[in-house]
Copies of this chain bind each other. A is one copy, B any other.
């Protein structure tokens, strides 16, 4: 595993292995992920997977690192309200996506019984929160949010209703959910809920 994705064969192997890991997670969850089967599906040698990753936990951690690296940059429309609508739409589309939605749900499910996966998941969300936090800091600078607003908390409250909908058995969130999530988080910001 390398923190910076190198080009060429190494990158291709990683992409194929992580894609096969994601397929297995979506199909039948963490317990079904098997290094030999991942190698077979990825079309790479078993020894490569054992040498570079070694454990299922390392595979899932690297998959989450890759998802964080390849996620879209934050919106920067010049308006906090517009940025929040855009982030809510991005999360909604991700959770409603036929591959990304079930993959995130499978990883969240795995995290409930695997402390390693829980740590990797927390790291993934902390990378995404850092990326999105700039919308709130810029909003504060423009006078659109009270000084002292905690950017991470504000982004968490924006995301939470969309994840809650996905995970409580009611299916993926839709456009209306995204719109309400953005308006609710903006109202809480304006009321000073995330300061101090």
Contact = CB atoms under 8 A, between A and B. Distances in A.
Contacts of A151: none
Contacts of A191: 183-184, 186-187, 190-191
A123 B113 CA distance: 24
A24 interface: no
A70 interface: no
A28 interface: yes
Interface in A101-142: 102, 105-106, 108-113, 117-123, 125
Nearest to A179: B193
A153 interface: yes
What number of copies of this chain does the assembly contain?
2
Contact of A161 (B123, B160, B167): B160
A34 to B, nearest CB: 15
Contact of A113 (B109, B167, B184): B109
Contacts of A165: 156
Interface residues of A, number: 44
A180 interface: yes
A168 B106 contact: no
Q: A interface, by DSSP: helix, strand, loop or mixed?
A: helix
A169 B106 contact: no
Contacts of A170: 122, 125
Given A125-B169, A184-B184, A184-B191, 11 more contacts: A108-B112, A108-B168, A109-B112, A122-B168, A122-B169, A153-B180, A156-B164, A163-B167, A184-B185, A184-B193, A187-B188
Interface of A: 28-29, 31, 102, 105-106, 108-113, 117-123, 125, 153, 156-157, 159-161, 163-165, 167-170, 180, 183-188, 190-191, 193-194
